[in-house]
Amino acid sequence: VILGLDISTACIGACLVVDDGKSDHPRIEILTHKTPKVPKKIKGIEALFIRKNIFVVVFIKTLTGYGITDVVIEEPLLSSNNVNTVATLLRFNGMIAESVYHNLGVVPNFISSYDARMYSFPELVSLRKFNKKGEEYSLSHVKKAIKDNHPVLFGAYPFDIDKKSVMMNMVNEVYPEIPWILDKNGELKKENYDACDSLICALAYVNINHHGLSPIDIVDSSIDEKTD
């Protein structure tokens, strides 16, 4: 029974899946998001404390009867130019992780967004097909990538692809019955992507448990010579 979390200060995506070791994909028990609200006059670290406490009450404490065995949390991206944003995310992640341990008795695992995407849907790993201008690479470039054993995540997609939408589509292929939340215009609310990311973390964790952390390598290749 695996709890997956995607944590930001504004919205926390959360899922609970059950892996019986027999099915192709784990069963989803819970897929949701929580947006802890704090009065605008409260800022800084105090606001984080309050958000954490709200999340514990409205979600974490409701999970005590599920028999959760594992928790996986997506690590915050550290590539932001705003060091204050990175510091805030790290603090909040730590608070939520400690709350999980305190209330559920499970030490959380952490996974990067790259690894979560790669190990949840390894079929997304391929040779890079397009350059940043959207032009297809030459055959010689592809041959070199094969020689260097250099497949990458989203390699078959253009550089400017919306990666969150790709992941949402991959999840929908496996779980077509998920009742995503729509806004008044019938569009997907952005909170759905946080919930989706939490599920992707859980799916990656299941695959890693079954298959390990083996790198995805090119083991064979051939050239298909097509003629008119």
Q: Please tell me the pTM assigned to this model.
A: 0.90
Q: Answer yes or no: is pLDDT of 213 > 90.
A: no
Q: Is the pLDDT of residue 228 over 70?
A: no
**Whether pLDDT at 223 is above 70:** yes
The answer to whether residue 225 scores a pLDDT higher than 80 is: no
pLDDT digit string (tens) for 53-82? 999 999 999 999 999 999 999 998 776 657
Please say if the pLDDT value at position 165 is more than 80: yes
Contacting residues for 207 by C-beta, under 8 A, at least 6 apart: 119, 120, 122
As a whole-number percent, the residues of the chain with pLDDT over 90 amount to 64
Taking only the tens place, the pLDDT of each residue in 90-143 is 999 999 999 999 999 999 999 999 999 999 999 999 988 888 888 888 888 888
pLDDT of residue 69: 97
